[in-house]
Amino acid sequence: MRKIYILITFIPVILLSERLDIVEIGHLEGKGYYNDIKIDGKYGYIAAGKGGIVIVDLADPDFPKKIGEIESMDYTYSLDIQGFKLFMADGKAGVRIFDIRDKENLEQRSFIPTRYSSFDIKVSGQYGYVAEGEGGFRIIDISKVDFPSEIARFNDKINIRALDIENGYAYLADSKGIIILDISNPDSLVNPIWIKTIDSVNNILSDGRWLFASGGDRDFIVSNVALPRYSITQKIPGDYKEIKDLSLSGFHLYVAKGDFGISILNLLVPFSPEVVNHTLVIEEAIGIYASGNLLFVTAGYDGLKVYQITEE
């Protein structure tokens, strides 16, 4: 009998320390309290609290230019974009849907009323997903944009302030932790998966394999959710106070930390993220969006700041 020997060679992986240089190149003064931001092509869309939605031309990032706005009927917390439609989470005014083809003359197509307040909105395919605080989590059929309708609601003594959607799962930021919910069948939202935390969770981000979340001053959560029912979670120690928003680009996680500025984490080893630059301190970092070598940061009443990222 011939014997076959298999030689297994272990090659050590050395993670070289890196540093990214961040330089401010553009600034747009604010009208209202700039918080959430989405980038779509050469345009930026900013949720500005009582200032509604601000639309910015970013063709020249050194000189961002405001070209349109939508008035708020209450308080605009967040937004999402799908094609030529903008979905606006406008607090007690619910979710409002706009046609944005003409940036200077925006047309409201319809709205989705709320029982409480609409805090966050994500859109995927024919559905809109809404975080409604004490009203829980809602799924809206938006296939007929002029006649959206609620098709499902999940509310089990929860308080949902933020959410993300990936690979048929909803990741919900709750006052008691993280809820992972199978949404592949909206008619049956059952058997939620809970990840308990010390503080309430204020923000959440997932790429379908990894989940990142934070709330308050103590817990920064990293979880492997490739198999959500068997997720592995770790609380990461370090200076992660007051995280307001997260943006993932490649293997870097960009973190907006309110009065503590901005940090960039290397996620080659997600359970041991490495800070690759010193915290960039600005007056206030609320929303953050990374796109290529540009970083867009909403700074509350100080408006929008645009940074260029280069490797040192």
Q: What is the pLDDT of residues 134-163, one digit of tens each?
A: 999 999 999 999 999 999 999 878 899 999
Q: How many domains does the chain have?
A: 1
User: Higher pLDDT residue, 15 or 96?
Assistant: 96
**Would residue 269 count as lying in a domain?**
yes
Q: The domain that contains 249 carries what CATH number?
A: 2.40.128
Is 123 among the domain residues?
A: no
pLDDT over 50 (residue 6): no
Contact (CB, 8 A) for 137 and 163: yes
Residue range 280-301: average pLDDT? 92
With respect to residue 58, please indicate whether it lies within any of the assigned structural domains.
Answer: no
**Residue 281 within a domain:** yes
The answer as to whether 284 is a domain residue is: yes
Range of the structural domain that residue 14 is part of: 1-28+236-312
- Residues 18-76: pLDDT tens digits? 678 889 999 999 888 999 999 999 999 999 999 999 999 999 999 999 999 999 999 99
Domain annotation covers residue 9: yes
Flag whether 272 is in a domain: yes
Confidence of residue 9 (pLDDT cuts 50, 70, 90): very low
More confident residue, 78 or 2: 78
In a domain, 51, yes or no: no
pTM of structure: 0.90
